[in-house]
Structure 1
């Protein structure tokens, strides 16, 4: 069940984040948006814990979300970005074998939050990596990758250092960007949860809040186990793709500066990003 007034408030905070050139102001608005989303999620969990009708009417759902078109390079970093956003908002994801879409499992309002954050951040991630490549800074960096060498009667995996290519630079940059965003959102979520437990009216209420959150986590987990048909574990990167410390540092810096915002209202449709 979607609370449109709440989503409008969160969306307004996110637009404020995008509308300022001050990094600290953008960070404040972003944290406020994530904390408001977390607080709403806690309220929903408490309502369901105490109201059988709410528990019956509000249950986990699954939703397919398009990430990109097949054979586009870098889709794994897009999936990584969505996955870290989902992790901070009580949503579990399965990933298509070619990374063109994800299946999100959780409560509808939490998935709405994930989509809104992703819509803005994926555009920023690609724009920042484009600017990094255009600057030419990657040309002075190197990459390390694991390769298999044939030594006659045996083969051995070795680490090989090469000049950093544009595609390897982009992949490392975007992966580090996504990782930094995940940390920022998780910090904001943890602060909101700690505040909710701290301001609770006595130990009994605090325990009730903690129990409601735990029950919500178990419900999403059980729903996922029932509905998911995924096989194996998804990995965001491969050692053979190449690792560049310089590109990752640049991506991390961009992730720190990113404005957590939305370019449209929550819950509206979004097409795949053309990378």
Structure 2
């Protein structure tokens, strides 16, 4: 429908275009709106976007104040999946769609707007406004690197075989949850250290097993992990430090709000778990040690937080790297681990270079608060892993 396209492209003023849609026959507008959402989701899926990433991008760019945008993009994902035999959709795509509960609940596409209005208990114009807003957000998203084959272009299988033991991951999650919930730094350190110990042992065992078997079915992969504001640069540095200590490499995309982590499945799982937990622990420690805010102290508080997170990331990187070296030295004394790790690192670097042939080294964050820097290092010492 031309009115919708003109409105999304900005060819007409938003309020004027919305008024035109409001007076146009619903029998024409409603099916065209859903079709436009479905087509936009299909375009972005071909352009590399996965369900969880697409949902997060919509929430990040407007879904917090307009929750219907997030619900509608999930419906668009469900509508897209309906077009394909599930056997031609990659498992990871299906898993993410299932995690979002993406299911076709409406009776017919032509009735989607009407049934959505009743389901959300809103008036029709508000729903039309939000759907157009969603189309504007989706139109702004660029194509990104294709890490998972889009629906309809792949058999239902994973290109890499992960040997991650779900029971082990459950134990790690439980330990990290305890570290996050306790108010005692010593307890948090104990729980986190035990989690890192389990992760390190499992990763080394997985590498040795792959080396003995030739590793033909295990290849490096990549996963995009969200980096939220505020202080995205400092949080991306923390993620990079955790990744480096776990034999992974990262590329940060600040304009899109995520970091692409390259590595083997078991190692990326470890990075994801540890980064999430350490971010929670850093936030709690920062809140306890930061100076008072208020109008007069707002600039000081911002400098403190930024410096805190920079120091926290640096210190975490130092401690994790040391812990990894110790684990490797211990395992290498009784095995041929080092050649295996060198080979795997080369594979990871080759994969990253293939996906990102050109990267730019980011600028380091400024440290304007000595108080924040010292507090961040102290918090990292309490939270890090021996």
Verify same fold: TM over 0.5. Answer: yes
Partner of 2:262: 105
Once the two structures are TM-superposed, the CA of residue 218 in structure 1 deviates from its matched residue by 1.4
Match of 1:85 in 2: 242
Greater helix share, structure number: 2
- Cα distance in 2, alignment partners of residues 86 and 259 from structure 1: 14
Question: Which residue matches 1:222?
Answer: 350
Q: Distance in 1 between matches of 2:287 and 2:349?
A: 37
Contact 1:17/1:259 (<8 A) preserved? no
1:45 aligns with 2:207: yes
Could you tell me how far 1:171 is from its partner in structure 2?
0.5
In the alignment, structure 1 residue 64 sits paired with structure 2 residue 192: no
- 1:167 is aligned, of 302, 316, 333, to 302
Question: How many angstroms apart in 2 are the aligned matches of 1:27 and 1:73?
Answer: 26
Q: Which structure: larger Rg?
A: 2
Instruction: State how far apart, in whole Å, the 1-side matches of 2:224 and 2:263 are.
Output: 12
- Partner secondary structure for residue 225 of structure 2: strand
Counterpart-to-counterpart distance in 2, 1:22 and 1:126 = 14
- Alpha-carbon deviations, 1:190-215, whole Å to 9, x = none? 221122123x1xxxx3xx22111111
Cα distance 1:132–1:17, how it changes in 2: closer, same or farther (>3 A)?
Answer: closer
* Higher relative contact order structure (alpha carbons within 8 Å, sequence separation ≥ 6): 1
Summarize the alignment of residues 1-275 of structure 1 with structure 2, pairs less than 5 Å apart. 1=162, 2-18=164-180, 22-52=184-214, 55-68=215-228, 72-98=229-255, 100-135=257-292, 165-198=300-333, 200=334, 205=335, 208-238=336-366, 243-258=368-383
Distance in 2 separating the partners of 1:89 and 1:186: 8
Q: Which residue of 2 aligns with 1:145?
A: none
- Show structure 2 runs of 5+ residues with no match: 1-161
Distance 1:171 1:66 in 2: 19
Are the aligned partners of 1:94 and 1:230 in contact in 2 as well (CA < 8 Å)? no
> 1:176–1:252: 8 Å Cα contact kept in structure 2?
yes
What are the Cα deviations for residues 160-214 of structure 1, in whole angstroms up to 9, with x where unaligned? xxx962211211011111222222222221221122123x1xxxx3xx2211111
Cα distance in 2 for residues equivalent to 1:18 and 1:171: 21
Q: Paired residue for 2:63? A: none
The answer on whether the counterparts of 2:180 and 2:281 sit within 8 Å (CA) in structure 1 is: no
Distance 1:41 1:134 in 2: 40
Matches of 1:24 and 1:219, distance apart in 2: 38
Distance 2:171 2:372 in 1: 36
In the alignment, is the contact (CA less than 8 A) between 1:66 and 1:101 conserved in 2?
A: yes
For residues 344 and 355 of structure 2, the distance between their equivalents in structure 1, rounded to whole angstroms, comes to 16
Q: 1:3 to 1:174 in 2, by over 3 A?
A: same
Count of residue correspondences: 221
2:226–2:257 CA contact under 8 A, matched in 1: yes
Give 1:47 shift.
1.4
Distance 1:189 1:211, change over 3 A: same
